[in-house]
Amino acid sequence: MGQINLYSYFRSSAAYRVRIALNLKGLDYQQHAINLLKGEQKSKEYRSVNPQGLVPTMMTEHGSISQSLAMLEWLEETYPEPSIIPGDSYQKAQLRSMAYQICCDIHPLNNLRVLNYLKNEFSVSEEEKSKWYQHWITIGFKALEAQLDDHIFCCSDHPSIVDISLIPQVYNAMRFNLNISDFPKIQTIYQHCNTMSAFMHAAPENQPDT
Ligand SMILES: N[C@@H](CCC(=O)N[C@@H](CS)C(=O)NCC(=O)O)C(=O)O
């Protein structure tokens, strides 16, 4: 199989998801840093790879893939073991449902470009921006907490696409001072995942561009 290259930024939650999945599947990959704070994602050169101007982008032997969930699905189909979307079609739908709650309904509302738009177009203060952030995270995490049972990971005794989506979102929430102990099941899963090397090596503080 060909080399995988990942255009990434150490603190990007979406890139963090893909790093966890690559590590869980034991795949070798090379990262290329795109500095979001310097606006490198908007450069003509990067947009020729990813017209949305977002990270991550994964380069495979077949070509590039944008959108982290599409990358996770491609990895699962191309490298099925260990599975990150296991089970029958109903179980897979349940896992995707929870992952989408994080990746489609929480994360986009708190993305850098959304926060910058609030600030630049509507003169939102830092305090109001933080309130916005906390609001969407809290609503999303409350719903997730209600769906979790007592497994070691989100949905079973093995890490899945849900844990892969959740851990970067928790990391991000803690950066914005969310009190994660308000969500005890999420907190326990977060702490447990971070004892695993696949999660540890994917963490923002362990990236070459940190
Ligand atoms: N739905 C996309 C989201 C990608 C995304 O929002 N990436 C963020 C970093 S986590 C980004 O590049 N932000 C740059 C910006 O907002 O200008 C995915 O899952 O890949």
CATH classification (class only), 89-198? mainly alpha
pLDDT in tens, 117-136: 999 999 999 999 999 999 99
Q: Tell which one of 37, 112, 169 to mutate to probe ligand 1, the residue whose CB is within 8 A of the most ligand atoms.
A: 112
pLDDT digits (tens, 9 = 90+) for 11-69: 999 999 999 999 999 999 999 999 999 999 999 999 999 999 999 999 999 999 999 99
Distance CA 193, CA 201 (A): 11
- Return the half-sphere exposure (C-beta side, CA atoms, 13 A cut-off) of residue 181: 0
Residue 56 CA to ligand 1 centre (angstroms): 7
The overall average pLDDT reported for the chain is 96
* Helices 13-24 and 161-175, axial angle in degrees (round to 10): 140
Rounded distance from Cα 187 to ligand 1 centre (Å): 24
pLDDT value at position 30? 97
CA atoms within 13 A on the CB side of 189: 30
Spacing, Cα 33 to ligand 1 middle (Å): 14
Name the fold adopted by 4-82.
Answer: Glutaredoxin (3.40.30)
Nearest atom, ligand 1, residue 114 CA: 16
Question: pLDDT tens, 75-116?
Answer: 999 999 999 999 999 999 999 999 999 999 999 999 999 999
How much is the pLDDT for 1?
64
| pTM score, whole prediction | 0.97
Cite the DSSP H helix spans in 56-125: 68-78, 89-103, 112-122
At residue 69, the pLDDT reads: 98
Mutation probe of ligand 1 site: the residue of 13, 50, 55 with most atoms within 8 A of C-beta: 55
Give residue limits of the domains in the chain. 4-82, 89-198
Q: Can you tell me the distance from the alpha carbon of 66 to that of 8, in angstroms, rounded to the nearest whole number?
A: 11
